[in-house]
Structure 1
């Protein structure tokens, strides 16, 4: 991919962020809440949690959802003043859908 392809870079960055968010473990009531200062875990990684492993189907669903969100947002921009923004969103959706097509072909 060309370094100058800002549309693809934008679409991929936000999709990677969505994947990263999906891997996050939900936080329940913090176990260390209410502990005295000397009882709190300390040190590097003391409060880290393991990330979830996403299945290939889940990743595909997230990428497809990101593309659908862009197409829906582009449909909302109906005025001529927003035509450039709508076109960019459609281009970003096309990048993501092309990735899905490439994954299906492989």
Structure 2
């Protein structure tokens, strides 16, 4: 594990997910590629800080000044990242349950996606 990967758990997760994404893309595994991109996005989104961006007056909803809209990302613990990934599983299983009667093919795909995410959670 490199120094960067050890710095914060999110870096370690991102490195592992990107490594798996590269393998999935090389294998032309569209489902796994899609799932990995989704999980990467979920981790990135979870690091987004809440709160307003300072507003300027000349142009509506614009931020004035170099770097004024830049904010530090939240630093998540490993447990928080695991919770984010667990929610990805729960979201897919919940959607599958709702669609079971009307879209059985989509239900199967959502459950397959949930299995892929669960395997990632167990291995990382």
* Shared fold (TM-score, shorter chain, > 0.5): yes
Give the TM-score range, shorter chain.
0.7 to 0.9
Number of residue pairs matched by the alignment? 97
Alignment of 1:15-30 (within 5 A): 15-28=39-52, 30=53
- The structure with the larger Rg is 1
Dislocated runs of 4+, deviation >3 Å: 30-33
TM-score where L is the length of structure 2: 0.68
DSSP-derived class of the 2:24 partner: coil
Deviation at residue 36 of structure 1 after TM alignment: 6.4
Deviation at residue 73 of structure 1 after TM alignment: 0.7
Structure 2 Cα separation of the partners of residues 71 and 32 of structure 1: 40
Structure 2: state its 5+ residue gaps: 1-22
**Structure of higher RCO (CA pairs closer than 8 Å, 6+ residues apart):** 1
TM-score where L is the length of structure 1: 0.78
Deviation at residue 21 of structure 1 after TM alignment: 1.3
